[in-house]
Chains A and B, each alone.
Chain A
Amino acid sequence: MIQEVGTTEQGELVINLGPQHPSTHGVLHLVITLSGETIKKVEPHLGYIHRSIEKMCESLSYRQFIYVTSRMDYLSSHINNHGCALCVEKGMQIEVPPRAKVIRVLMDELTRLASHQLWWGAMAMDVGALTPFFHAFREREAINDIMEETCGARLTMNYMVPGGVMADLHPDFQKKVKEFIRFFRTKIDEYDELVTGNVIFKSRMEGIGYLSAESAVSYGCTGPTARGSGVSCDIRKLYPYEVYGQLQFEEVTATGGDCFARYMVRMQEMRQSLSIIEQLIDNIPEGEFQAKTKAVLKLPKGEFYSRVETARGEFGVYIISEGGTTPYRIKFRSPGFSNLSALDHMARGYKIGDLVAIMGTLDLVIPDIDR
């Protein structure tokens, strides 16, 4: 592959998009081969923000390693932590109290909303509209304030502990969340007005970056990326964890497979998340928020895997334990990595402006890809 990078045919142009580029949302490096403005090949080069999180986790105890996963997909940090906590609980066979389960799901959905809001703003910015970004941040700020009050931090919350959550909900939590839902219901219609219906935006999105259901599966795409191609892959529906099995919500899928389908899936998911929160916010059971666990956690010898649905797709945690206080080997299956692998397939034949739009709909978080 390395020899291939520089070789071009007559009239081809090789461009390095990144590692510092406004639309790669981080330090992604794409080597693009262009013919005029048409993309011939896209080659992602990774490793600019590799922090060897998996190796780091091997020297951390089962309580400690959870916080590191917030630094992977920082936009759905809570859901990442959730996956890790689930895996440890599976190994230790800890029964999580019902209140903790509901709190976890509520926080997951709020995180998902915040992540999708940021994605919406960044997506619009990728296609050239700068105002939506600030509008998205207004709503995201409301969620961050709720998070800050209950979890103590805005982005890397570290609210999960094996056996439940770190602290009980703040007394104002329910009131604030209800306020937020009422507020956001009006604003999400503005989102549609400002961006979704816009003829320029539609023409930038429709029919661009086609990904068939077959290739979505074969590239291992998950989350809204695959659901936009009609692949049913919502872990919350297929392998329900916590209280997702008892909730009424729809798995949003679209059949278009283009950028607009992926966009609409995420927009609908925001509405679904809102309805999940509405179902739960008045039905938080009383009781403990954390199960009684030993001070030092030791997973039994064996292999454990658990997965959750983050805002970007399936997040898997695979732990091999030798019975000690630290994992022997840990592996994270991050959604961004697989989704990025389909980029070359999706972008070929489209224009350079489309590449940016396609990357926007993939909702890439680079630390999640590099780990």
Chain B
Amino acid sequence: MLSIENITHSIDAWLNSMFHPTVVLLVESLIVGICAISLFAVLGLVLVLMERKVSAYMQIRLGPNRVGPGGTLQTVADTLKLAMKEGLTPDGADKFLFNLAPFVVIIVAMLILAPVAFAKGTQIWDLNIGVLYISAVSSLSVIGILMAGWASNNKYSLLGAMRSGAQIVSYELSAGISVISIVVLTGSLRIQDIIASQQDGWWLFKGHIPALLSFVIFIIAVTAETNRAPFDLAEAESELTAGFHTEYSGMKFALFFLAEYVNIFIVCAIAATLYLGGWMPLHIGHWTGFNQVMDYIPSSLWFMGKTFFLIFVIMWFRWTFPRLRIDQLLNLEWKYLLPISMVNLLLMTLIAIEGWHF
């Protein structure tokens, strides 16, 4: 069966037979880099199109339907338009930071891509502290946002950036605690181990109610972390026009936009990995026939299906709910999510120690 794992292994073997190991490492890094960047571009295009279509159907509209078959090339056209636009730098802006900020944001998004397992045996970097790495790196994106807000020399941007800072720092906590509750169950920080532990069932089902709770909290927290509605206070359109990227135009704006969508993809991929078994197919107990049928579906499809389902759920939130106010947002975190997730973690630890999980 043709799978991504086989392809990568054969490329690796071929390169090793031809070149010196150092050259091989360099070439492979290059290939991975190119793959990551092109994955970024494709994800951006697909997710923007998906969001526009989802929002359109929820808003009883048709959405983009003119460029390409069924409007599929609309986002390509939009990207071309953005690439042609002049990237203005406002007068009085801190030029260095202003131009650096979008790259910081996008690089952070790229970094988190490293430990994500896309399919069986397909992972850029299987480091043994994968989950910790993700938590650590994802909190760096706030620096880029603060940089953009401060350097723009615009009061709206500044307010947006400050909101974003408060928001991301707070929601890191409950996202982290939710992640820990799965780590408690698996006993490993390594992504592959976490996936392997879900061979006989996903943690969402195996971990009783605490797993479900921590899943919900994780989804809420990462929605807030990626600045998506109903937590899009950093760019609250009706209040701050566009928040931290008010002054950006052209390709620099496109990078912020791209980073937003790639971040959504990544957090959904992590949620899928932690709670829904990553690339693991759905297995139900001893239904061997059913399980075998499920095994025939390629692992990359399983991963993408789960991730895109979660992305859809997050989009569903966005197009249904009003936005919270900044103090309510922090109330929600500190008064509801954090206490609940702490109690939840205790319960989860109890379950793990007693071995009550399936």
Contact = CB atoms under 8 A, between A and B. Distances in A.
A302 interface: no
A195 interface: yes
Contacts of B55: 130-131
A152 interface: no
Given A128-B230, A204-B322, A204-B325, A353 B155 contact: no
B325 A134 contact: no
B239 A356 contact: yes
A127 B238 contact: yes
A203 B326 CA distance: 12
B148 interface: no
Interface in B213-261: 229-230, 232-233, 236-241
Given A124-B322, A129-B320, A352-B159, A134 B61 contact: yes
B326 A198 contact: no
B159 A126 contact: no
B101 to A, nearest CB: 21
Contacts of A203: 324-325, 328
A124 B59 CA distance: 13
B26 interface: no
A29 to B, nearest CB: 14
A134 B326 contact: no
A154 interface: no
A125 interface: yes
A129 B321 contact: yes
A217 interface: no
Interface string B131-162: 00000000000000000000000011001000
Contact of A135 (B59, B230, B232, B233): B59
Contacts of B327: 351
Interface string B312-340: 00000001111111111000000000000
A351 B240 CA distance: 12
B156 A22 contact: no
Contacts of A204: 322-325, 328
B31 interface: no
Contact count band on A: 20 to 34
B60 interface: yes
B59 A15 contact: no
B333 to A, nearest CB: 14
Contact of B236 (A124, A128, A194, A198): A128
Interface in A312-371: 351-356
A183 to B, nearest CB: 14
Contacts of B163: 37
Given A22-B238, A131-B59, A135-B60, A353 B156 contact: no
A195 B321 CA distance: 8
Nearest to B323: A128
Given A22-B241, A129-B321, A130-B55, A37 B326 contact: yes
B58 interface: yes
Contacts of A354: 325
A23 B61 CA distance: 23
A279 to B, nearest CB: 31
18 contacts: A15-B156, A22-B237, A22-B241, A37-B163, A128-B229, A128-B238, A131-B59, A134-B61, A135-B59, A194-B320, A203-B324, A204-B324, A351-B325, A353-B236, A353-B325, A354-B325, A355-B239, A356-B239
Interface of A: 13, 15, 21-23, 37, 124-131, 133-135, 138, 194-195, 198, 200-201, 203-204, 351-356
Interface of B: 55, 58-61, 155-156, 159, 163, 229-230, 232-233, 236-241, 319-328
